[in-house]
Structure 1
Amino acid sequence: MADRREKVDALIIGFGKGGKTLAPYLAAQGLKVIVVEKSPLMYGGTCINVGCIPTKALAHDAHLLSQRVGLSMEARSEAYAQAVRDKNALVSLLRAKNFDNVNGRPGATVLTGAASFLNPREVRVETEDGEWIVEADRIFINTGARAVLPNLPGIEGSRIYTSTELLEVERLPARLAIVGGGYIGLEFASIYAGFGSEVTVIERGTRFMPREDPDIADEVRKTLEKKGIRFLLNAGVNRIEDGSDASILHVSCPEGESELAADAILIAAGRTANTEGLNLDAAGVARSERGFIQVDERLRTNVPHIWALGDVNGGPQFTYISLDDYRIVRDALFGDGGRSTKDRHYVPYTVFIDPPLSQVGMTETEALRAGHRVKTAALPASASPRARQLRQTEGLMKAVVDADNGRLLGVTLFAAESGEVVNIVSMFMKTGEPYATLRDSIFTHPSMAESLNDLLSAIG
């Protein structure tokens, strides 16, 4: 028999960005809210604990260290260990603030335990102090996603890590192998190369960064290779052997099979929804073939009183998308219901390699495929006085314009501080103004934003 039974207006399963923002809002409307989080180390969700915040903190420290020449490996290892300790302190601070921001609100309670559906309205929560049965009028699933481990001989070896696990390793690996050349893999490659690791990226695809235009992808690869990162394309790992001094990856490629020794192996081969143990079948909640919870444009599942927010619903896996998921649900419950995922236009993203790669809108390839007649311009990052001031002159900036109406179709910025500048471009593109308006805008000097003047002037 359950230790306790509770009836609430809203149950939020998972402490991600969407759920943690929704909980205090609902409580402020007078609703009784319970938030369930499986792990006390995940208050605040993926971004704060194992995603954006810790990785970008390490990326910043790696960039600073990469500017120092002549350091011994011992000094670099100690700098890395200190960076991990600083990252842990930052994460602990933010985790505590996030917990208090929810649990400290009148009407909101956090339960730490594993949740599983008993039926569409009731959820069992197993905590250290006993079992709860929570009945809710509305249920919001916000459990995020996790790394996928491939079915590979040796995958359970002692030197195998997901991105979550590698973030906790305080000893800098001298040799790091990364299985997967997607954005997560590239971010970690850039970080560890900056600290001094010998990094090899193994990618099954035949093209490097196939989502980007070839000129941008070539520039990124050239820059990362200059940092010492090695890329093996059209290559796969057949098996991994766990030796006494190192792990050996048996890698196959068109030239044949080779062996690669590594002190750590990061598996960055994709992510899947965190739904294991939720017993979604008992609730009747439908999932996609990839295992993500299916939702409509207002994030409602096939069960009308159950929603899914954040990475678990299979949308773009960015914390700012999870925040917008909250806005959609808020509008559905207390607004006019007009907001939906269809309103998401010109959403920017940044890959925090060094320098960062940011993009919004269409690439040239995508624009041509969509039938646009285009004009393009490219500008090396070294043309920016600010980039030279920062001593970050690597990179390339590119703009794509519709030749018929002068609208800006997309911008890609592989340059210092691009994660800030791309937000300006995103806001501008939503106005529908011709590119010349942004071209002739006034920006502060010296700044990376003023590079937009020069980039767009090259179009005409």
Structure 2
Amino acid sequence: MQNTSYQNLIIGFGKAGKTLAGFLAKKGETVALVERSKARYGGTCINVACIPSKSLEYSARLSAEIGGGFAAKAERYRAAISEKRRLTAMLREKNYAKVTGTGAVVIDGEAHFVDAHTVSVTTADGEQRITAERIFINTGAVPFVPPIPGAAESTHVHTSETMMELDELPEKLVIIGGGYIGLEFASYYENFGSSVAVVQDGDVFIPREDAEISARVLQQMNDRGIHVLTGAKIMRIEDGAAGANVVIQAADGEKTLAANAILIATGRRPNTEALNLAAAGVRQTARGAVEVDEHLRTNVPHIWAMGDVTGGLQFTYISLDDFRIVKDQLAGSSERTTANRGAVPYSVFLDPPLSRVGMTEAEAQSAGFDVRVLRLEVAAIPKAQVYKKPAGILKAIVDAKTDTILGAHFFCPESQEMINLMKAAIDHGITARALGSAIYTHPTMTEALNDLFG
């Protein structure tokens, strides 16, 4: 058995881990980065999440604009899957070269703790033991698949990760789960040409969102032909000769949905199962995440956790900010924490995308603010008419006393870009009046802020 020692051991090649590895190695410290799969260099985002899914989203929109019959759409889908594979392979190679180019050592294998300073790594050549002064856990999250009768036996069931490896476009797709991942896939595959049904057990559609915005998104998805069923329980999955049936219990009785493919998109859980955290004395939350404080330290002083494994917001840019928080402790003032990173924006890549930062109208009212609500129909924006995408709405929640922005909800083309300006406005107290009187280029979607806030 090989035994090696490093100043720093990072478990997981995600955004925070790879960035920290490069930073520490460039400082002259010894760094080992353990990754269980060569297909995951760069982390979840690059390989099975953000980048490949957005590559498909882009290709799907182009395909929808071209139109044509199902056979033509299926051919474009195959080309999109091929392009997605090319892109992720290229990014994996670049990420590996970038990390190893700093002097950090990448070890391929499955890691589990032996004690608080020692990790055993099972590699293709056997077991390797690594001791380290500091250890950073960055193992991300994995899809959660509930115990649905027939799901494990079905050859048509996929998670969000395996769905993107399908070479053939499914004519009929059933998505189990009405969360953001499920809705994104519904939008992609409808644009590619699939007939899509989304089934969720909750009665309220995207309940985290502003109620008015949720209603508009649901209306737009229905207008596109995406069949959304809320308050429906999945009874079982049955494989047949030509596909599968998803049997559900809806409010009006039992229904059967035919499918060529079934996507189970019921969330993701922290990837901690193989780590043997108990051996290191690292505490976990009730949901299995690594328990951390606002500095991302575990209860063991020399062990940190970063990214999705902490059970927080599952965004790659949050993982990057986690790196900044840890870096600030190792080589800074330790002022940066999870509590002071400000408003967190996010986008759901529908067509058009839905983006949000800050409070909903109901949240602002519950918090005691004197609320002023501003709305603008997307049809009134010239650039939206240029795009031939007039559906949607812009909504902003403003503190009537101070004119500061409490929340922004944009359901429109390019909202994923516009929302970043709104984060800056919220974090730095830029008023609604200032945004309404600013000078923006024309024709752009951002110039709609003149009308929304003016």
Alignment TM-score, normalising by the size of structure 2: 0.99
SS in 2 for 1:118: strand
Q: CA deviation at 1:434?
A: 2.2
* Aligned-CA RMSD value: 0.8
Structure 2 counterpart of 1:332: 329
Match of 1:183 among 159, 164, 180: 180
Match of 1:64 among 62, 65, 74: 62
Gaps of 5+ in 1: none
SS in 1 for 2:147: coil
Distance 2:63 2:391 in 1: 17
Distance 2:430 2:453 in 1: 14
Q: Deviations over 1:65-84 (max 9, x none)?
A: 11223x11000000001001
Structure 1 counterpart of 2:26: 28
Q: CA deviation at 1:373?
A: 1.4
Distance 2:246 2:114 in 1: 44
Structure 1 counterpart of 2:241: 244
Distance 1:88 1:404 in 2: 52
Matched, 1:348 2:345: yes
Structure 2 counterpart of 1:115: 111
Match of 2:401 among 400, 404, 426: 404
Gaps of 5+ in 2: none
SS in 2 for 1:137: strand
Distance 2:402 2:419 in 1: 22
Q: CA deviation at 1:344?
A: 1.7
In the alignment of these two chains, the number of paired residues is 453
Match of 1:288 among 282, 285, 290: 285
Distance 1:280 1:327 in 2: 24
Q: Deviations over 1:74-100 (max 9, x none)?
A: 000000010010011000000100011
Match of 1:96 among 93, 97, 113: 93
Q: Deviations over 1:206-236 (max 9, x none)?
A: 1111111222111111111122100111001
- Counterpart mapping for 1:364-443 below 5 A: 364-443=361-440
Matched, 1:317 2:309: no
Structure 2 counterpart of 1:48: 46
SS in 1 for 2:95: helix
- Verify the 8 A CA contact 1:122 1:133 in the aligned structure 2: yes
- Counterpart mapping for 1:178-327 below 5 A: 178-327=175-324
Distance 1:296 1:287 in 2: 12
Distance 1:415 1:145 in 2: 30
Distance 1:251 1:284 in 2: 43
Q: CA deviation at 1:34?
A: 0.3
Write the letter of the residue equivalent to 2:61. H
Structure 2 counterpart of 1:130: 126
Write the letter of the residue equivalent to 2:48. V
- Verify the 8 A CA contact 2:425 2:431 in the aligned structure 1: no
- Verify the 8 A CA contact 1:18 1:309 in the aligned structure 2: yes
Q: Deviations over 1:18-43 (max 9, x none)?
A: 00100010001111000000011000
Distance 1:213 1:315 in 2: 21
Pick which of 323-332 and 431-440 moved more: 431-440
Distance 2:378 2:368 in 1: 29
Distance 2:66 2:137 in 1: 45
SS in 2 for 1:207: coil
Distance 1:391 1:129 in 2: 57
Matched, 1:142 2:138: yes
SS in 1 for 2:406: strand
Write the letter of the residue equivalent to 2:4. E
SS in 2 for 1:67: helix
- Verify the 8 A CA contact 1:194 1:227 in the aligned structure 2: no
Q: Deviations over 1:297-320 (max 9, x none)?
A: 000001111000000001100000
Structure 2 counterpart of 1:455: 452
Distance 1:434 1:445 in 2: 22
SS in 1 for 2:220: helix
Write the letter of the residue equivalent to 1:311. D
Distance 2:204 2:126 in 1: 52
Q: CA deviation at 1:425?
A: 1.0
Write the letter of the residue equivalent to 2:259. A
Write the letter of the residue equivalent to 2:338. T
Q: Structure 1 segments of 4 or more deviating over 3 A? A: none
